[in-house]
Each structure stands twice: as C-alpha cells, then as structure tokens.
C-alpha cells in the first residue's frame, strides 16, 4: 500500500508551571496508507489530541518528523503550510465552536476557496454543492452556527473540510458529541465520501465499538506511547497489551 | 414491590412549548429505571421536575408527581428543601463541578449533611469514612482533605455519588452520570451504582443517552422521543423487541462491540 502519512518518533513536551516538562506524546511512529481508515484509541490524557494537533501543525512538535506524501512537513511554514492544508484537513469534536459565530455557514465553507483565488459567486455555488454532498440543502448556506443542530453543524464542518479536496481528514472525536442516530448518519456520509473521493481518515476516538464498525486499522495509546497496533479485528480479537485488554473489558 | 416514585400522566411546559407530554411511569423500591433518549427529548426535564427545579419558565401543567404517596407539586418550597437531598438524592454529569472549588470536599460534604440533620463533626467523619470505605476508596481521609481539583474527573464523580449517599436517600436521580468519563472509569461508576442498590436498596432513576450503561444497570427502560414515551417496559423486552419505530432506529444506530 502506498503511504500517505508517515510519522516518525514524534514527541511533544509541555513545560508545567513548576518548570518540569510533561511528555504528552512520546516517540510515536506509524504510517497511514491511501484509502485507509485508521483509528487512534486511548483514554483522556493519552495524547491522542496532541498527536492530531502536531500532525495538522496546530501544535509544534518537540522532536520527530511528519511526512505527508513523502514531503517533510514537520517545520513547514507560510505558503508551504497553506499548500499542505490542501491535502489535509481536520474536523473537531465541537462543530459549533469551529465556525465563526458571527458569520454564516456559507462564509466559512467558501472561505478557503476564495483564499485560493476563486470568485465569490463561484465559491458560494461550490459551497452549495458541497453542502448537498453532505446532505444539507442550500438554505443552510445563510444560517448561523447557533441556528442549526449539532449534527447539521458537523455536516457543514465536513463540507468545509472537503472544499479544497484534501486526501486526508483528521477527525478528532468528530462524532462523540452527537446523538447515536446522528452519529450513524455521519459515519455513513464519511464512508460514501471515502468511496467517491478516495480519501483516508485518521479517526481519533475513545469508543471501541465505533472503531470496530468503522476503521481498518487502529493504534492504542497510553500515556503518550503507542502500546499496540494492528488491524481492528486482530487487536480486538487478540489484544496483546494489558492496557488494551483492560479497555476492552470496560466496554459495556 | 412498593411504589415509591410515580409520575402520573404529566405534561411539562417551558414558556409556550410543551416539552413533556403524557409521560407516565413508576419507580418501585429498589428498582432501577433507565430513561433513554437523544438530545432535546426531555430526559433532564423529567428529573428536574421530580426535584422541583424546573425554574420560573418551567411548569408542570398536567398530572402529578407522587413520592411515597405525597404530591410533590403541592409541596411548599420549605417542604421540598427537606425532601431534596434527604429523600431524593441527585447526581449530575459532572459531580465535581457541583462542589465549591476553594473548599475541601470533607467540609462541603459535612455542610450538606448538617443542612438536614444535627450531627457532630466526629459523627460526620465516622459516617463519611465508613461510606468511602464501603465503596472501596483507598485513602478515605485523604479524599476528605482534598480540594475537588486535586482529584481526577472519575474520582470526583465517584466522590460526588458518595456525597449524595451520605443522607441515605431512598431515590437517586442520576442525570448522565457516566457520560463525561473514560470507559474504564465509566465501568467503575456503573458498579458503584449497582452496589448502592444492593447495599441500601436505593431506587435509581437513571437518565442517559448511552444504551450500554442503561443495559448494564436498568431493570426497566423508558424511551423518550420529543417529550413523549415511545417505549416502556422490562429491559430485556425493550432491547430485544422494541415496539416503536424510533426505538428500533435508536438501537440500530448503536455500534455493537463484538469480540
């Protein structure tokens, strides 16, 4: 399988008030292939989100390297970084917070297109098409984030992420705050998008049942380290690490 | 089993909108009833109504809520104060944030108990330590000396449940008590609730969107959708053969973990 994303020895230290350092992510290496759905699982504080933020370059890595399509993006800046975001986008847990509360959903979705030189009218047409692809009518273009439900807002956030046709979506607990029936709809949407657009997902999640239903491979993180890695079936049927076993025994 | 808490065909209105319509159930002594539903279905409103905490806008406009035969809607605020905490205990999603952040847990728990009964500090300490011990806490004295922020989220939740149990209420109303927790801690909290029922015979009204938690705890289930009951009955019957289309859709949406 061709590699889309490769992470090598990624480490993040945060300094605490006492001057000590806290290692949130500790020597993490893995790779993600084209057209693959990989889960990162672990409990709160295990470093999942810090890992995602480093890959998307929202947090600077302390050491280690990140390669996207074999291009080293660990220290990419400015123009370079903007180009990288055309290949990689992120969807967050709280969709409403990820939109500017004073601007309409259409503004948020069209923004990246306009920034790339598309004319406004054209960008809005494209935004309308994207919303449609995500199952929302064009009336949502002119709604404000607080005027729509959580599920609708998350669909709009996915539409926004898709606007510049990325190859990789990083989803950080993207369905955790949603109702069960809505979660199912969103996962269905992600599945069909993967087929239509040949995308890869890095799916950060704490729900093992969900990961089993949705992902091909998974890595298990504990205290910043990867303790187990494999296909979802293999890890769930034959967990090797005590922590993975404990997680599975906890599923109700 | 004796009927302890009964919601008798109630309607609840917030301002102009009817948020609960004709909900009717009863909770027997020692029973756990799970109320499942999605956001906006009215689950939390039902619990608030039981505690008399609907606020200015909320109004119980039809039906009655009876606790031990007493109509809670007819109780004065003074009477309700005696019932809240002592008869009907409450546990929230983040029990930790219902504590004051700048005072120790022990002081706050003692204050809560003293609001309901005369008790010396020594007696309180004995009771609190004994209860924490029963629930398997390692160093109960350390917990009472701690400030809320010194404990992890899961620990705060477990201590919050112990705090609710100090007054030995006959009914616990729990609103999404495990939703903010990691899976391993969630399991501990579920076990703690089951232990409460076993040791004290407490009835529990559990509100949750998490079907796994409801499946692990409840005897009976009520499925709420847009303020109305769409299914109500024994847990196994509802989970195996839901009668409404909505419950079927809800159960289908929950991914099953297969090992």
With contacts defined as CB-CB under 8 Å, which chain A residues touch B209? 179-180
Residues 208-237 of A with CB under 8 A from B: 208-210, 212-214, 236-237
Q: Which residue of A has its CA nearest to B154?
A: A44
Q: Has residue A110 got a pLDDT over 90? A: yes
**Does B236 reside within a domain?**
yes
With contacts defined as CB-CB under 8 Å, which chain A residues touch B252? 184
Which residues in chain A belong to E strands, given as ranges?
3-15, 21-33, 37-41, 63-68, 71-72, 88-91, 168-172, 200-205, 217-222, 225-231
Contacts of A102 (CB under 8 A, 6+ apart): A144
Task: Tell me which residue has tokens 């810090």.
Answer: A50
- For B187, the closest of A150, A209, A252 (CB atoms) is A252
Domain CATH number, residue B26: 3.40.50.300
Q: Which residue of A has its CA nearest to B208?
A: A179
CA dihedral A88, A89, A92, A95 (to 10 degrees): -170
**Does B61 reside within a domain?**
yes
With contacts defined as CB-CB under 8 Å, which chain A residues touch B184? 43, 246-247, 250
With contacts defined as CB-CB under 8 Å, which chain B residues touch A179? 38-39, 209
Q: Has residue A177 got a pLDDT over 90? A: no
Structural domain of residue B225, as residue ranges?
3-252
**Per-residue pLDDT in tens (0 to 9) along chain B, 259 residues:** 578 999 999 999 998 899 999 999 999 999 999 999 988 899 999 999 999 999 888 999 999 999 999 999 999 999 999 999 999 999 988 888 889 999 999 999 999 999 998 999 999 999 999 999 999 898 999 999 999 999 888 899 999 999 999 999 999 999 999 988 888 889 999 999 999 999 999 999 999 999 999 999 999 999 999 999 999 999 999 999 999 999 999 999 998 888 8
With contacts defined as CB-CB under 8 Å, which chain B residues touch A182? 38
Greatest mean pLDDT among A169-178, A190-199, B27-36 lies in B27-36
Q: Give dist(CA B28, CA B30) in Å, integer.
A: 6
pTM of structure: 0.85
**Does B259 reside within a domain?**
no
Q: Give dist(CA B130, CA B121) in Å, integer.
A: 14
Question: Based on the structure, what is the number of domains in chain B?
Answer: 1
The sheet with strand B70-71 has its strands ordered as B17-28, B3-14, B58-67, B70-71
Burial (CB count <10 Å: 0-12, 13-18, 19+), residue A195: exposed
Q: pLDDT confidence of A138, banded at 50, 70, 90?
A: very high
**Does B257 reside within a domain?**
no
The answer to whether B38 contacts A180, with C-beta atoms less than 8 Å apart, is yes
pLDDT in tens, A48-89: 999 999 999 999 999 999 999 999 999 999 999 989 999 999
- Positive or negative CA dihedral for B89, B91, B92, B97? positive
Which ipTM value was assigned to this complex?
A: 0.79
Q: Give dist(CA B145, CA A53) in Å, integer.
A: 37
Q: Which residue of A has its CA nearest to B250?
A: A181
Which residues in chain B belong to E strands, given as ranges?
3-14, 17-28, 32-36, 58-67, 70-71, 88-91, 171-175, 203-208, 220-225, 228-234
Q: Which residue of B has its CA nearest to A250?
A: B184
**Does B168 reside within a domain?**
yes
């Amino acid at each position: 399988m061709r590699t889309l994303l490769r992470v090598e020895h990624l480490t993040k230290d945060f300094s605490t008030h006492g001057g000590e350092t806290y290692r949130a992510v500790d020597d993490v290496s893995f790779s993600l292939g084209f057209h693959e759905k990989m889960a990162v699982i672990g409990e709160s504080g295990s470093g999942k989100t810090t890992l995602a933020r480093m890959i998307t370059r929202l947090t600077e890595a302390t050491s280690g390297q990140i390669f996207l399509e074999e291009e080293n993006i660990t220290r990419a800046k400015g123009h370079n970084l903007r180009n990288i975001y055309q290949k990689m986008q992120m969807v967050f847990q709280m969709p409403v917070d990820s939109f500017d509360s004073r601007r309409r959903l259409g503004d948020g979705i069209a923004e990246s297109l306009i920034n790339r030189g598309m004319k406004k009218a054209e960008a809005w047409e494209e935004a309308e098409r994207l919303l449609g692809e995500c199952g929302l009518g064009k009336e949502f273009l002119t709604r404000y984030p607080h005027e729509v439900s959580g599920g609708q807002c998350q669909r709009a956030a996915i539409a926004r992420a898709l606007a510049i046709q990325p190859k990789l979506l990083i989803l950080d607990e993207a369905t955790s705050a949603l109702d069960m029936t809505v979660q199912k709809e969103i996962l269905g949407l992600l599945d069909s998008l993967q087929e239509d657009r040949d995308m890869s997902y890095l799916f950060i999640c704490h729900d093992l049942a969900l990961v089993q239903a949705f992902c091909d491979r998974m890595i298990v993180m504990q205290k910043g380290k990867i303790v187990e890695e494999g296909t979802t079936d293999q890890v769930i049927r034959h967990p090797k690490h005590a922590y993975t076993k404990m997680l599975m025994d906890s599923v109700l | 089993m004796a009927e302890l808490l009964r919601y008798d065909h109630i309607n609840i209105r917030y301002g102009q909108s009817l948020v609960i319509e004709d909900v009717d159930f009863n909770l027997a002594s020692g029973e756990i009833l799970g109320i499942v539903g999605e956001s906006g279905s009215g689950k939390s409103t039902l619990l608030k109504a039981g505690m008399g905490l609907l606020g200015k806008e909320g109004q119980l406009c039809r039906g009655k809520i009876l606790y031990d035969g007493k109509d809670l809607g007819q109780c004065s605020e003074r009477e309700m104060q005696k019932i809240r905490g002592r008869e009907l205990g409450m546990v929230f999603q983040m029990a930790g944030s219902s504590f004051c952040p700048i005072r120790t847990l022990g002081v706050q728990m003692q204050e809560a108990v003293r609001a309901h009964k005369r008790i010396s500090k020594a007696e309180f300490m004995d009771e609190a330590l004994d209860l924490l011990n029963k629930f398997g806490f390692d160093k109960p004295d350390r917990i009472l000396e701690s400030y809320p922020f010194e404990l992890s989220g899961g620990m705060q939740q477990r201590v919050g449940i112990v705090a609710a149990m100090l007054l030995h209420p006959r009914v616990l109303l729990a609103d999404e008590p495990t939703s903010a927790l990691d899976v391993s801690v969630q399991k501990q909290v579920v076990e703690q609730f089951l232990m409460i029922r076993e040791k004290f015979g407490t009835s529990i009204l559990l509100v949750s969107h998490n079907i796994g938690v409801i499946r692990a705890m409840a005897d009976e289930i009520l499925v709420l959708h847009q303020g109305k009951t769409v299914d109500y009955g024994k847990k196994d019957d509802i989970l195996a053969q839901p009668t409404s289309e909505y419950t079927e859709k809800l159960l289908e949406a929950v991914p099953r973990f297969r090992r």
